[in-house]
Amino acid sequence: MARIISLAAHAKVNLHLGIYEGRDERGYHRADSIMIAVDLHDRVTVTSSEEYPIVVNTTPELDVPERRTLVARSARALAAAFGINTGAQIDVVRHIPDKSGLGSASTDAATTIRALCMLWCIDEKDPRVVEVARRAGADMAFFLNPVPSLLVGVGDQLKETFPPLPDVPIVLVRPVGGVSTPEAYAEFDREPSAPASPTDMCRALRASDIEAVAKNLFNNLEPPACRLEPEERAVVEWLRAQEGVRAAQVTGSGSCTFGICESHEAAERVADAALGHGWWACATKTI
């Protein structure tokens, strides 16, 4: 009988994202990244198969061939790392918009790795699992264990985790246009800016101080993302002006902006108002 593992693949927001000027030999920027997971999620279901290959089905479909998706590449890399010769069917139901800075591809791929570890009886903490994830993408290390975390290096090396900060009301608002991560970094390179230190945000998270968290939001990819998608600047300014929103900023490389709200009712109200502007919006919470 086939075994089935089904897991939620949660989105993230960047409370702090500090990008440094210059690239390493692989073409990556040094980055300080503090992320926290939210309740908006995709669903990843893996089903055992006695025969190779690994098959990936995505709903809605992506505009890239299945074999080139991050989910497929990560699954096959994990199988190769552990000498797994059986297959699996991987079904991904997507709710997180792409080109939004919410980690859609990374969370799907990392959750697939976690589900396959359960299916194939692999220890998720095995260094080979972590190495497969790190090679796949910078955010993958966070999504293997999506607790509030500071990652350094190129955003792939876990430096510190923080106490859970659950049930904080969050509103997500995204303009119609998206921003690709490579384009955002290329635009940053044209007009680089120095990052702030993550020290104050780390202190706020250690104390579970939501007011200090809201006060210390930082993302120096926000200006280049807004230059690439001008409506994103309108979203950011609109969201910061809404009653019941403590603070707001672009997450990751955009084009989604998140707002930390005073209440769940405020998050719902702001999301409804954003929909009225023709933007995508979602009221959610930290987990």
- Residues marked active site are found at 12, 139
Two tokens at 37?
A: 């997971």
What are the strands, taking DSSP E only, across the chain?
4-19, 31-49, 54-59, 87-93, 149-152, 157-161, 169-174, 218-219, 245-250, 257-261, 280-285
Q: What is the C-alpha separation between 79 and 74, in angstroms, rounded?
A: 9
Nearest to 237 by CA among 254, 224, 250: 250
Q: What's the one-letter identity of residue 6?
A: S
Q: What is the C-alpha separation between 255 and 257, in angstroms, rounded?
A: 7
